[in-house]
Structure 1
Amino acid sequence: MAEVASPTALSQPGGWTILRRSRVSMLALWFLVGLVFVAVLVPPFLPDELKLTSKDSLLPPGAACSASEGVIYLCGTDLNGHDLFYRLLTGAQVSLGVGFVGALLSLFVGTLYGMISGFAGGRIDAFMMRVLDVLYSVPRILFIMIFIAALGPYLTDWLDAARLWAQGHGWTTMEDLMVTAIRYSRIIIMVICLGLVEWLTMARIVRGQVLVLREMTFVTAARAMGQSNPAILRLHLLPNLATVVLTYLTLTIPAVILDESFLSFLGLGIDDPAASWGSLLKDGAQVINPLDSKWWLLFFPATLMSITLLALNFLGDGLRDAFDPRSRSR
């Protein structure tokens, strides 16, 4: 059966041209690309003295390392003698990783939920939107805390059971993978919980787009040619939602990073030995003293996180202006 061609926003060159002409959006994009490269590539090449706990606690930026001549602490050290610059980079790996993966999970759930609700219409749509309203009424942070408390022990037990099963069958690679997963189970459960909470806005936006798209001529033609509803959703509606989903993905990432940072600041998120920007802010807040301020412990994590969140929001605004005709007209 011949397929009906449907126009997609991503295939229209005008949007990409508008995005490239936006200096703020391109500057934000290059900053984010540079941050990812630095956070991933620089830490392995730093001196070993900067990666270990030392007796050089609470030294200011630029102080010399006592364990090695010629090595300096670029951003100072924390209460435990960790080099703050190294911790900032490893914290960026965790915060950006949690933000990106959590946003992807929310994108998948929200897009699927919104597409089904908008395309089904009628009572199904009304019921699914009332479910969204109920979920919106629950405080987001409280929801995440409940998820972490409820799912955390089950995930650890499941990973340990999988490790024992792999050990019994002699699958060394899988056993090592499960050991690593258990070590970082707090990060895994954080990603899952944040992804399962942040999808609500995405679902509402996708549902609104589908309500408009399902009345378009190419969808009517596809129905007339006998295409099934799943095929129409996959071949015609999903490609036309690509730019909306991409735009709000960049706007969901900072929301996930903020939630993770807030939970880590409260001591409910990332634990040592892993670090995130939120846990670094928590460590800095513990040594606040008006008589002897260790300003670098709060200044560097807060500044880096703020600039990153601004860059993500600027990039998301640029994508929305480029691919949403209604925002251009405003």
Structure 2
Amino acid sequence: MKPVILWSDALIYLLVISLAFFFYRLRKDPQIRERWSQVFSSSLGMVTFTVIATYILIALLDSLHFREALENPEGVVGQEVFYDNKVTSVFDVLTGGMGDRFERTYSAPFALQSFEKENLQDAAGNDIRDYPPLRHAGQHLDDPDERGMDIAVKSVTALFWGALLSLLVIGPQWLLTRGSRYPWRASWLVQGIVLCTGVWMVSISRYYHILGTDLGGTDVLFQSLKGIRTGVLLGTLATLIMLPIAITLGVMAGYFKGWVDDVVQYLYTTMSSIPGILLIAASVLLFQVYIDLNPDFFTIGMEKADAKFIALCFILGVTSWATLCRLIRAETLKISQLGYVQAAHAFGVSHTRILARHVLPNVVHIILITFVLDFSALVLAEAVLSYIGVGVDPSMGSWGNMINGARSELSREPTIWWTLTGAFFFMFTLVLAANLFSDQVRDAFDPRVSLPSAVEL
């Protein structure tokens, strides 16, 4: 196989390493360490963090791409190795080929037949119109009436192996955390549910389409899982692009005041006055024109889709900094008038040292809370942008593209509901976990609010 490193792949691993190093450095501050300890001392904090970590892990596995080597035709001997144009990820391998089982068109969850009638021939050779059997669902059954019992038996077997895998994963954690004051049992419960569900989905998907298929015959569950990488990367990259702009301008405006404050206020007031959707749509369309005029820059189709995705993250980040900048400016204005900052000025301490030692540490709580909240907002923004046709490339799996494709499906009779349901469930779980976790961070970093003691599960 030949490794394929996309720009988004390199960025997500670089960001994960940078964030890990950042939090490792924060551990040296006893006050910051105690506040984070309060976040994870609650069962809700542990549960939501475990859910978010699961999404991040799936995104990381889906960002390890490679191209498989093609076998030489019979009788042809050559030294040169040719590779498949299809780019595969480690996550695709772990799902057991769930995305390679295509049907002709729609099929309902756990169905054995297509959702739409087609022209067929019966045993006597007569033309009839009926629901054709699916290619990859229920082919192992001798009698279609055995479907219910077959699903039950295979589900029990899959859950048994999932429980065994959960014990192998949670066991070492239990040995390492004995005597800890953190509610690890809440995290272990979520880990067990995730592992059992994952094993069940991979096992059952070999025989049935759990969430059915879409218009192109692609498994809806696989599409929903592939949207995790897009949602996590978009929310993370766009937020991290926005943070340096907002922090730099907000701190400068609040600290130096005068004409610097006037310029920054003019900038974010002007930015807030422009309709965000129109600005983002115009920028994305301009970049799409650039991609179409320079096809030689991209060797495979996925690189083109990845370039458009990175551009969308950059555009969302550049257009989303005004609110955080306004908050940091107001907080910096307050901090700059406090006694210890005035004393530092009196002793001749440089501006750089005052900003690094006294101002920035006191706005970290605003940055952390805004980071999580903006992450959720940007994940939802991707769905809105894809709905109006300026989101990520259609070849990339995303919840926005699934919701966009479900528009016409909801008006059918009978309704095709499973495409929207799959995208909604995974998006809802991520955004809900991020918002609940941000509430815990806000409570821990707000001195006016005290966290309740951990509730044992």
Asked whether the two chains share a fold, i.e. TM above 0.5, the reply is yes
Q: How many residue pairs get matched?
A: 307
Whole-angstrom distance in 2 between the partners of 1:10 and 1:60: 55
1:211-254 Cα offsets, whole Å, 9 max, x none, are 12223344334434444323332343223322221111000001
26-35 or 262-271: bigger deviation: 26-35
Q: Which runs of 5+ in 2 are unaligned?
A: 1-27, 62-90, 113-133, 141-205, 452-457
Distance 2:405 2:370 in 1: 32
Q: CA, structure 1 residues 131+297, in 2 after alignment: closer, same or farther (shift >3 Å)?
A: same
TM-score by length of 1: 0.82
Q: So what's the TM-score if we normalise by structure 2?
A: 0.61
Q: Deviations over 1:60-118 (max 9, x none)?
A: 22246624755321221111111111111111101111111101111121111111111
Please state whether the residue corresponding to 1:73 is helix, strand or coil: coil
Q: Show the counterpart of 2:241.
A: 105
For residue 306 of structure 1, what is the amino acid of its counterpart? Answer: F
Output the amino acid matched with 2:381. Answer: D
Preserved contact between residue 305 and residue 393 of structure 2 (Cα < 8 Å): no
Q: Is the 8 A contact 1:262 1:278 kept in 2?
A: yes
Choose from 83, 88, 92 the match for 1:43: 92
- Which of 39, 62, 66 is the aligned partner of 2:135? 66
More relative contact order, 1 or 2 (CA 8 Å, 6+ apart)? 1
C-alpha separation in 2, matches of 1:218 and 1:88: 52
Question: Aligned Cα RMSD in Å?
Answer: 2.8
Where does 1:1-330 land on structure 2 (aligned, <5 Å)? 11-41=31-61, 42-48=91-97, 50-52=98-100, 54-63=102-111, 66-67=135-136, 69=140, 70-154=206-290, 163=297, 181-326=303-448
1:40: Cα distance to partner? 4.5
Matches of 2:30 and 2:301 in 1, distance apart?
42
The answer on whether the counterparts of 2:49 and 2:433 sit within 8 Å (CA) in structure 1 is yes
Gaps of 5+ in 1: 1-7, 164-174
8 A Cα contact 2:228 2:398, kept in partner? yes
SS state at 2:410 partner: coil
Identical aligned residues as a percent: 25
Q: Tell me how far 1:187 sits from its aligned partner.
A: 0.6
CA distance in 2, matches of 1:53, 1:71: 10
- Over 3 Å counting, the alpha-carbon distance change for 1:45 and 1:13 in structure 2 is closer
SS class of match (1:97): helix
The letter for the 2-side match of 1:237 is V
Q: Distance in 2 between matches of 1:142 and 1:182?
A: 23
C-alpha contact (below 8 Å) 2:250/2:327 kept by paired residues: yes
Q: Is the 8 A contact 2:403 2:420 kept in 1?
A: yes
Shift in CA distance, 286/97, structure 1 to aligned 2, threshold 3 Å: same
Counterpart Cα distance in 2 of 1:152 and 1:282: 19
Residues in 1 aligned to 2:277 and 2:45: alpha-carbon distance in whole angstroms: 30
Q: 1:57 to 1:28 in 2, by over 3 A?
A: same
Paired residue for 2:127? none
Cα pair 2:383 2:400 within 8 Å, conserved = yes
Query: 2 CA distance for matches of 1:234 and 1:179?
Result: 45
Greater fraction helix: 1
SS in 2 for 1:76: coil
Structure 1 window deviating more from structure 2 (78-87 vs 13-22): it is: 13-22
